[in-house]
Amino acid sequence: MRVKVCGMTDVDQVNQLNQLGVEFCGFIFYPKSPRYVFKHMPAINIKRIRGNINKVGVFVNAYTDDILKTVDDCGLYLVQLHGDESPRECERISNYVSVIKAFRLSEDDNILWKIKDYIDVCDMFLFDTEGAGYGGTGKKFNWNVLKGLDIRKPFFLSGGIQNDDVFALKEFTNDPVAKDLFSIDINSKFEISPGIKDMDKVSQFVTQIKQI
């Protein structure tokens, strides 16, 4: 199982993730986030990060031209759109770089209806927990709302995932929807402070999840 660690603000920790075999690291380019990466490092430092890890830029309702400039300035491999971006905006960006469209889910969402206009214009989806405002809530949503669905697009599973969830994640992979499960996304439950990860916790999780 692939792993994405989001909200990174420290180059040394990104390099440690690379050594652990983590496939994706997320940098948040939303100024209102406590993990806003430009408070901690300039674009050139992000661009200089090398290794097998894929650099993902997380944006919320940013201007398309600004996103594409940041992709170039920071050497990003993927873009995660976590706001109210329209299918047309996603399509324009996906013509330049791979796009992950995030959807915040609640119990009564018609998920297939919610994603239908984005199927042909995005490369991947991410499912997170509905909450006030934008960004992660640190809380789980009910994964059962996904069970039995045919998403037809690789997706990241996010939302308050922690070490104790490894068994539940293994159970989730038995459902037909998991044929499209591409990666697990972790963040706040593995932090010492916003943007700084407890690398022992991350290492333990990665070791366990890679066995699924």
Measured at the alpha carbon of residue 18, what is the angle toward residues 68 and 207, in degrees to the nearest 5? 125
The yes-or-no verdict on residue 88 having pLDDT over 60 is yes
CB 193 within 8 A of CB 1: no
Say what the pTM is: 0.95
The yes-or-no verdict on residue 60 having pLDDT over 60 is yes
Q: Where are the domains of the chain?
A: 2-209
Residue 26 gets the label, from left (phi > 0), alpha (psi -120 to 50) or beta, of: beta
* Tens digit of each residue's pLDDT (9 = 90 or more) over 71-81: 999 999 999 99
* Tens digit of each residue's pLDDT (9 = 90 or more) over 155-191: 999 999 999 999 999 999 999 999 999 999 999 999 9
- Three-state DSSP at 186 gives strand
Residues above pLDDT 70, as percent of the chain: 96
Quick count: other Cβ atoms within 10 Å of Cβ 125?
A: 24
We find that the CATH architecture of domain 2-209 is: Alpha-Beta Barrel (3.20)
